[in-house]
Structure 1
Amino acid sequence: MQKPIFKEYMSDDEAVRAIKKLKTQVNTDNIYVITHDDEHTDRVANRAGANKVGVDETGFGVSVKNIFRKKEDELRAKLEKLGFSETEAKQLESELDKGAVIVAATEAPEGVVVE
């Protein structure tokens, strides 16, 4: 699996602008928004026309486990299913704790970056 590209934002507006630009270079099906709060994730994803990490990405088994996990464990599991290492997922989850919005893209062409 190709490692995802990503960037952290502290503003929803910045994240939405980045997603709109990214959509010109990456298949929209491969662009994801992750925040610490499900409603926040929904708002940003809906505004930008991006995806949330759900059952299709994690699989049914992980989705069921996430129901019983702490929020931090759920977020790390989602990040790992996108292709981040366990260490990267832990670091990113700590940024989510601080209010960051993570925009990630899987299967991005070489040379594409999230701006």
Structure 2
Amino acid sequence: MNSSNNAKAYAKIVENGVQAVQEVNQLRSTGYVYENIFVLAHDGNRTERIADTADANEVGIKEEGMFDALANLFRSRGDELRAKITSFGFTKAEADFYEKELDLGKVLVIAKKAE
């Protein structure tokens, strides 16, 4: 289960930042816009570096909702990542799966459908 499609978002686990950049470029070439493409890694600094390189976004307050973002201040990084993932419409089980993959050093690329 490397990727998941649902009504809200597309997600794909990749091995590293290079593959994340390639995935972002692929998504952009198929019509996804910059504002709707996000990357997540377990290490917040790594997420920022990959997002900058890929010209993608980090998941922020707008996507999560203000309450969830404030709640993340009191959560571990794993809980924070699962909250970010479920904010895109993924189930708790999917979020658990993706977070475990991130824990192994992989990177998650998420693309929202245009609203």
TM-score by length of 2: 0.88
Structure number with higher strand proportion? 2
User: 2: CA distance between counterparts of 1:21 and 1:74?
Assistant: 27
1:15-54 equivalence runs, <5 A: 15-24=20-29, 25-54=31-60
Structure 1 residue ranges (4+ consecutive) displaced by more than 6 angstroms after TM superposition: none
The runs of 5 or more residues in structure 2 that have no matched partner are 1-5
Q: How many residues align?
A: 108
Question: Which residue is 1:10 aligned to?
Answer: 15
Q: Deviations over 1:10-40 (max 9, x none)?
A: 1211110111121122122111101101100
Give, in whole Å, the separation in 1 of the partners of 2:83 and 2:19: 25
1:55 counterpart = 2:61: yes
The reply on whether 1:79 has 2:85 as its aligned counterpart is yes
Q: Structure 1: any 5+ residue segments left out of the alignment?
A: 109-115
For residue 93 of structure 1, what is the aligned residue in structure 2? Answer: 99
- Aligned-residue CA RMSD (Å): 1.3
TM-score using structure 1 length? 0.88
Percent of aligned pairs with the same residue? 39
Higher relative contact order, structure no. (Cα contacts within 8 Å, ≥ 6 residues apart): 1
Residue type at the aligned position of 1:18? E
